[in-house]
């Protein structure tokens, strides 16, 4: 343990005042003199905690409506002084500056204000903290002599160490400094991301609300991925790999990363991958829906009048693959659906919420991992980022929506109303299936899914082979165009009545002719849904 800087003086300037009064009171008991800024000083004074206002110490009142409070040599000199250097100590004496041993600072709530619906740019700009990060960085830089605390959750541990040893240990101050730099880096990244979003495709007016976004986002010149550790996993995709789950530092409510585990064994890396795939897919639907996923692919999807009905349809789509699957529901789970779900072996289950009686049913399966996500919200926030050797691939999310009633009919026969409903259902599922993706469906369920084949015709054959009911009268959705007519010929022989595909092949005319020869209806969506 090394000596902390100079006299026992602590600087407190916090927006989040959680625990600051108790902290200040205890620091006074430990012999610290407290210096503070306006709002923090007022909170301490109101609680009867002795405090010196920064303006009184510096002789410089706050100016510019509080924009300049602590940007003063008597503040930053007291934070940055290396007390091991005689020249620094002499500078402090000559300038009448006293050193700080502790700097307790947290920043303006930029993220929270920026996330408010309709937040104006001028409001967001005012939440860009300047003095706070400057003090945090200064204290973190000088961690050999100064302890910097940016998280109210650390107050008790800091106080405990001060009580027991009279000062913070070297390793504690270093750890706090690392956390402080991570805090300011995250804060700056949030500012950059928000302003970049507002820049996208337009010039923002500082007195106006956020302009309508452009068709494609302006991707950042530099990419900073900011995340916090949520949980360490037993291993990664395989037992010889390490693994952990990290979460965005923004509001992530309604997502898999924020979901609460209610029961069951620890989640694995692969569980989380599959939970995310199922959660994204099930929230494509407005009606009560169930999605069963295996190896990051839907193997059965159903919608119905109830969650139980939806699950039965999803399971019937591929009962063999459903065994040991991951299931997602898009409504609060009720007892009938819970009872139906646990009638087969499942690894994980995720839903927005659970009725108490449904929890009782699920509790009978002690190993079943049950996740509560809350209402789904903004599942495609931010950017889609993938690691490649030496870099990253970045894109905006595939959120394209197709109105099937307005899709281009390219065959002689137009799809009937029921066929359009079925095509809409199949198309929503195909978006979530690994390419080459083929989905055979009725209006309310999948009956065969061909995923991940290297040729599209093989995906068609696989989907037909997987179907346990007659394909005659069903529809087919393809995530990308048919390069040849063979896929249509295979589907027609099985009895497929209508097809949805993006179109765009050099052989579109031959593909359309194949459909016309068999009396099939075909629509072009003009949207591709590759998923690699």
CA distances from 41 to 73, 79, 83, 343 (A): 20, 19, 27, 61
**Tokens 């894109």, residue?**
395
The DSSP output letter for 365 is: S
Q: How far apart are CA 135 and CA 132, in angstroms?
A: 5
The two tokens of residue 329 are: 């529901």
The structure tokens listed for 422 are 């079925």
Q: Which residues contact 88 (CB under 8 A, 6 or more apart)?
A: 81, 82
For residue 141, indicate whether it is catalytic. yes
Helix/strand/coil for 450: strand
Residue of 8, 17, 179, 295 with catalytic role: 295
Opening angle at CA 303, ends 301 and 309, nearest 5: 100
Q: Which helix (H) or strand (E) holds 227?
A: strand 227-232
> Are residues 264 and 279 in contact, defined by beta-carbon separation less than 8 angstroms?
no
Task: Give the whole-angstrom CA distance, residue 432 versus residue 283.
Answer: 11
Q: d(Cα 454, Cα 451) in Å, to the nearest integer?
A: 9
Integer Cα distance of 164 and 144 in angstroms: 19
**Pairing mode, if any, of strands 227-232 and 244-248?**
antiparallel
Query: Pick from 401, 399, 408: which is nearest to 500 by CA?
Result: 408
β-strands 521-524, 498-501 pairing: parallel
HSE value, Cβ hemisphere, 13 Å, CA-based, for 36: 25
For residue 170, how far is the Cα from the chain centroid?
35
What angle, rounded to 10 degrees, do the helices at 170-199 and 155-165 form? 160
- From 8, 141, 265, 365, the catalytic residue: 141
Spatial contact of 176 and 143, defined as CB atoms under 8 Å apart: yes
Quick one: three-class SS letters along 116-180? CCCCCHHHHHHCCCCHHHHHHHHHHHCCCCCEEECCHHHHHHHHHHHHHHCCCCHHHHHHHHHHH
Distance CA 502, CA 249 (A): 37
Q: Which residues are designated catalytic?
A: 141, 295
């Amino acid at each position: 343990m090394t000596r902390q800087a100079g006299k026992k003086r602590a600087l407190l300037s916090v927006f989040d005042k959680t625990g600051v009064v108790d902290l200040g009171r205890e620091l006074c008991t430990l012999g610290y003199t407290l210096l503070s800024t306006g709002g923090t000083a007022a909170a301490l004074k109101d609680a009867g905690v002795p405090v010196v206002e920064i303006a009184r110490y510096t002789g410089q009142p706050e100016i510019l409506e509080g924009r300049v409070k602590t940007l003063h040599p008597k503040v930053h000199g007291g934070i940055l002084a290396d007390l091991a250097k005689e020249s620094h100590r002499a500078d402090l004496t000559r300038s009448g500056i006293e050193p700080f041993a502790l700097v307790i600072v947290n920043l303006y709530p930029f993220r929270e204000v920026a996330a408010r619906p309709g937040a104006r740019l001028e409001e967001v700009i005012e939440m860009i903290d300047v003095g706070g990060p400057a003090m945090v960085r200064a204290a973190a830089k000088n961690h050999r002599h100064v302890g910097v605390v940016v998280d109210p959750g650390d107050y008790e541990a800091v106080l405990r160490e001060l009580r027991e040893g009279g000062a913070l240990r070297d390793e504690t101050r270093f750890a706090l400094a690392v956390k402080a730099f991570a805090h300011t880096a995250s804060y700056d990244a949030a500012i950059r991301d928000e302003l970049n979003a507002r820049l996208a495709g337009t010039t923002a007016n500082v007195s106006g609300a956020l302009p309508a976004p452009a068709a494609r986002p302006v991707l950042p010149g530099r990419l900073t991925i900011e995340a916090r550790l949520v949980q360490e996993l037993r291993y990664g995709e395989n037992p010889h790999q390490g693994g952990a789950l990290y979460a965005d530092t923004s509001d992530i409510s309604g997502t898999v990363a924020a979901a609460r585990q209610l029961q069951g064994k620890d989640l694995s890396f692969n569980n989380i991958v599959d939970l995310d795939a199922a959660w994204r897919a099930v929230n494509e639907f407005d009606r009560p829906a169930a999605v069963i996923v295996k190896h990051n692919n839907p193997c059965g999807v159903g919608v119905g009048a109830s969650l139980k009905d939806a699950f039965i349809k999803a399971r019937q789509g591929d009962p063999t693959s459903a065994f040991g699957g991951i299931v997602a529901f898009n409504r609060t789970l009720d007892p009938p659906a819970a009872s139906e779900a646990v009638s087969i072996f499942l690894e994980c289950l995720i839903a927005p919420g659970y009725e108490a009686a449904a929890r009782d049913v699920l509790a009978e399966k002690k190993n079943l991992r049950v996740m509560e996500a809350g209402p789904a919200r903004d599942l495609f926030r931010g950017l889609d980022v993938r690691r490649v050797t030496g870099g990253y691939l970045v894109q905006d999310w595939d959120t394209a929506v197709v109105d099937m009633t307005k899709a281009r009919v390219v065959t002689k026969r137009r799809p009937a109303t029921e066929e359009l409903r079925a095509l809409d259902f199949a198309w929503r599922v195909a978006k979530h299936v690994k390419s080459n993706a083929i989905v055979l469906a009725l209006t309310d369920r999948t009956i065969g899914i061909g995923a991940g084949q290297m040729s599209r015709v093989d995906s068609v054959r696989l989907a037909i082979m997987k179907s346990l009911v007659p394909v005659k009268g069903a529809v087919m959705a393809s995530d990308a165009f048919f390069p040849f007519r063979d896929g249509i010929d295979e589907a027609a022989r099985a009895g497929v009545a209508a097809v949805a595909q993006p179109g765009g092949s050099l052989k579109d005319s031959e593909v359309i002719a194949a459909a016309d020869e068999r009396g099939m209806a075909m629509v072009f969506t003009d949207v591709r849904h590759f998923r690699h």
